[in-house]
Amino acid sequence: MNKFDAVIAGAGPAGLSTALKLQAAGWRVLVVEKCKVPRDKVCGGFVGPENILFLKELGIYEKLKQRGAEEINNVVLSSSRGKKVRIPISLNGSALPGLALSRKLLDGTLLEAFVARGGSVLDEHALENASREGLFKIRIKNLKTGSEAMVYANQFIRATGLRNSAGIKDEKMFWGISAMFKNVKNMEDHVFLHLIDKGHLGINRFEDNVVNVCYVADGDLVKSFAGDLEGLFDHFKGANPVITEQLESAQRVTTWKGIPVARKIPYEFAKDGAFYAGDTVGVVHPIVGGGISLALSMGYELASLLTAHESESVPHEKVLHAYRKVWHKKYFWRLRASGMMGRLSHCKPAADVILHLMSSRSDLMEAFFKFHHRSLGSVEIADLTVCRR
């Protein structure tokens, strides 16, 4: 029988940090991923400093750098009036940098670590449904052949990303849209966030000498361009002189890719006995970043709570209660603050005030950065490489 201590649906940062931590405790883990991996995702690709220690402990930080991930020490923000502010990442009180890299590189290297330690992965397989009768009975579909199979597990974790992709509708939707460029100016040691009315545009350097241009636009703005992503991009360029200048001689080298993101989906931690992790619980607005860090850290926390027990005798309600409590303590305000910052920075007058405050009141900036950093907290590192059984 295909029986595991845990089956995890989703090979993103949440699924893989959960998998690595469960695996380190000796659990037999299967990760099921619907896409062929590794693959790219629409994302700014900026990993905040709070997770650098975690990546180091996993033994993949140096590997990521060797493969082209760049350390970043400054964030530059600009408003549609052309005001620019540079914020050193060290303002959060830590000496660690951020990291700029594609999701193909990050998720792929996490997956590689899991497989190298004996983990099982089925990519191009989608979770169809799961039911619990003592054991979880999980139906998965091979997306290449169309055949279906059943796997069994003591625990089941859904880390399948945005819940709106499962059909939940939200009027307050925004879109994330990205493509790779060459010849973008001023990329040394900086990640950029350029604000416009109803959106922002992130510019970040990736491995292989390409630059990721990722814009986030409110749903009504996207609708008004009726699917013309290049036209919408031109609108962004014209709406902020700093973007115009930075992308003056830039050339796009890939097609645009877009995803819809719903903001108003209520937080959910578990359903029908399965735990949720990462974006499946709730979404961080990309304007403040940290979604990847949150996903990594949340997966790690959940796995720590689960591995305090044998996989077959996890007291579901007790672990759920503890998970919810830890989540509220560490992540609730981060998600709330990110939503508020998202709304404010997509509103032109508010964005101008924010940029003004940032440039004139470095003490306020420092306090915000420290809060931002502390509210996430870095994960406490156990030895992830040691098997207890």
Query: Nearest to residue 182, comparing CAs of 203, 196, 198, 153?
Result: 203
Q: Which of 2, 26, 35, 117 binds ligand FAD (CB under 6 A)?
A: 35
CB of residue 60 to ligand FAD, shortest distance in Å? 16
Q: Contact between 34 and ligand FAD (CB under 6 A)?
A: yes
Which range, of 10-18, 324-332, 360-368, 369-377, touches ligand FAD by CB under 6 A? Answer: 10-18
Indicate the pairing of strand 29-33 with strand 120-123: parallel
CB of residue 174 to ligand FAD, shortest distance in Å? 8
CB of residue 15 to ligand FAD, shortest distance in Å? 6
CB of residue 59 to ligand FAD, shortest distance in Å? 20
CB of residue 310 to ligand FAD, shortest distance in Å? 26
Which range, of 32-40, 83-91, 248-256, 330-338, touches ligand FAD by CB under 6 A? Answer: 32-40
Q: Total residues at the site for ligand FAD (CB under 6 A)? A: 39
Name the β-bridge partners of 148. 141
CB of residue 8 to ligand FAD, shortest distance in Å? 9
Measured CA distances, 319 to 279, 283, 324 (Å): 19, 22, 8
Q: Which of 6, 292, 351, 376 binds ligand FAD (CB under 6 A)?
A: 292
Which regions of the chain does DSSP assign to beta strands (E)? 3-9, 29-33, 46-47, 70-72, 74-78, 84-88, 98-100, 120-123, 125-133, 135-142, 148-158, 174-182, 190-196, 199-206, 210-218, 251-252, 257-261, 270-271, 274-276
CB of residue 388 to ligand FAD, shortest distance in Å? 25
Query: 32 vs 187, which CB is nearer to ligand FAD?
Result: 32
Q: Contact between 302 and ligand FAD (CB under 6 A)?
A: no
Query: 296 vs 314, which CB is nearer to ligand FAD?
Result: 296
Q: Contact between 32 and ligand FAD (CB under 6 A)?
A: yes
CB of residue 363 to ligand FAD, shortest distance in Å? 26
Residues 217 and 103 sit within 8 Å (Cβ to Cβ) = no
Query: 77 vs 261, which CB is nearer to ligand FAD?
Result: 261
Structure tokens at 79: 């408003």
Cis peptide before 38 (omega within 30 of 0): yes
CB of residue 39 to ligand FAD, shortest distance in Å? 7
Query: 159 vs 306, which CB is nearer to ligand FAD?
Result: 159
Q: Which of 89, 222, 261, 379 binds ligand FAD (CB under 6 A)?
A: 261
Taking CB under 6 A as the criterion, which residues in 209-248 touch ligand FAD? 214, 216
Query: 120 vs 362, which CB is nearer to ligand FAD?
Result: 120
Query: 44 vs 119, which CB is nearer to ligand FAD?
Result: 44
Q: Is 139 helix (H, G, I), strand (E, B) or coil?
A: strand
Query: Nearest to residue 211, comparing CAs of 183, 246, 238?
Result: 183
Q: Contact between 44 and ligand FAD (CB under 6 A)?
A: yes
Measured CA distances, 33 to 108, 156, 228 (Å): 12, 14, 30
Q: Residue 240 contacts by C-beta under 8 Å, 6 or more apart in sequence?
A: 78, 79, 80, 82, 194, 195, 196, 201
Structure tokens at 53: 């220690």
Q: Which of 265, 279, 345, 354 binds ligand FAD (CB under 6 A)?
A: 279
- Give the amino acid at 385: T
Rounded-to-integer distance, Cα 44 and Cα 193, Å: 10
Q: Which of 10, 119, 199, 342 binds ligand FAD (CB under 6 A)?
A: 10
Taking CB under 6 A as the criterion, which residues in 125-144 touch ligand FAD? 126-127
- Give the amino acid at 12: G
Q: Contact between 11 and ligand FAD (CB under 6 A)?
A: yes
Structure tokens at 18: 């959960």
CB atoms closer than 10 angstroms to residue 361:
12
Which residues bind to ligand FAD, rule: CB under 6 A? 9-15, 32-35, 41-47, 126-127, 159-161, 176, 214, 216, 259, 261, 278-280, 284, 286, 289-293, 295
